Amino acid sequence: MKNNTGKSLTNCNIWFTSDTHFGHKNICRGVSEWKDKDTTARSFDTLEAMNYFIVRNINAVVMPNDILYHLGDWSFGGIENIWKFRQQIACRNIHLITGNHDEHIKKNKILPNCWWSDSDIMLDTDEDDVGLQVCAESLFTSVQNYLELLLDKQTFVLSHYPVEEWFDMDRKGAIHLHGHVHHKFDKCEMNTKYRRMDVGIDWEMFRPYSLEEIMRIMNKRERKKHTS
């Protein structure tokens, strides 16, 4: 899918993130059951602290009228956490590129105890007579598993997974943004000299990257040549 958004998108701030894993017990060191949690889990004592920290840091920089591209692995801990996380994020415009842990969203499942009211406000209720039930995809501005995005003549190739070669990487210098590897895949966001970057939230203060930050980094990188 190609989205030639042009200048209309640049009237607001644009942000990218991935792998928030809201509600994921094992990625939180204080409650994790992973054997290698000391090196693989996030340094939080409780799941509540991790969730709060991520929500707070997103809302601190991404304003309600901004645009956020989330490159997958939205939440864990059951289908209810999809809505629980979404309702805490102030940004109204979230485009989701699905990851390997977004099965409920990919299947567009109906969210339990969540309804549309007559005024299009989502309600978390046990009553079944307030309106239409809410499907997972409707919580986002768009949902797809791959996106080619054009911003001010710069092409971005967005996917949850990192790839070695991507659309227009050599001819037009397209930038490949991904998640999935939590900044651990050969530290590809640092070691490669090419225009590819892990935008996962597991960096510095657990917050999204702005478009401007990404461009400052990528403008120092080379176009990658096609191998055959």
127, with CB counted inside 10 A (0-12, 13-18, 19+), is exposed
What whole-number distance in Å separates Cα of residue 178 and Cα of residue 119? Answer: 36
- Domain at 2-108+140-218, CATH homologous superfamily: Metallo-dependent phosphatases (3.60.21.10)
- In terms of pLDDT, which residue wins out, 5 or 211? 211
For every residue of the chain, which 3-state class applies, written as one string?
CEEECHHHHHHCCEEEECCCCECCHHHECCCCCCCCHHHHCECCCCHHHHHHHHHHHHHHHCCCCCEEEECCCCECCCCHHHHHHHCCCCCCEEEEECCCCCHHHHCCCEEEEEEECCCCCEEECCCCCCCCEEEHHHHCCEEECCEEEEECCEEEEECCCCCCCCCCCCCCCCEEEECCCCCCCCCHHHHCCECEEECCCCCCCCCCEEHHHHHHHHCCCECCCCCC
Band of pLDDT at residue 193, cut at 50, 70 and 90: confident
pLDDT at 132: 78
Band of pLDDT at residue 9, cut at 50, 70 and 90: very low
Spell out the residues 6+ positions from residue 182 whose beta carbon is closer than 8 angstroms to its own.
Answer: 19, 198, 200, 202
What does the pLDDT look like over 62-120, one tens digit per residue? 999 999 999 999 999 999 999 999 999 999 999 999 999 999 999 999 988 777 766 55
Report domain extents, the chain: 2-108+140-218
Q: Which of 190, 179, 162 is nearest to 21 (CA)?
A: 179
| pTM of this structure | 0.89
pLDDT at 39: 86
pLDDT at 128: 54
- Tell whether the model's pLDDT for residue 144 goes beyond 50: yes
pLDDT at 7: 34
What does the pLDDT look like over 115-138, one tens digit per residue? 776 655 555 665 555 567 889 999
**Proportion of the chain above pLDDT 90, given as a percent:** 70
pLDDT at 102: 96
pLDDT at 6: 33
Average pLDDT (56-60) is: 97
Q: In angstroms, what CA-CA distances link 114 with 76, 130, 148?
A: 18, 10, 32
pLDDT at 101: 95
What whole-number distance in Å separates Cα of residue 227 and Cα of residue 1? Answer: 24
- The mean pLDDT of the chain is 87
- Tell whether the model's pLDDT for residue 4 goes beyond 90: no
Identify whether the C-beta of residue 180 lies closer than 8 Å to the C-beta of residue 201.
no
Band of pLDDT at residue 10, cut at 50, 70 and 90: very low
pLDDT at 149: 96
pLDDT at 190: 56
- In terms of pLDDT, which residue wins out, 71 or 222? 71
- In terms of pLDDT, which residue wins out, 226 or 53? 53
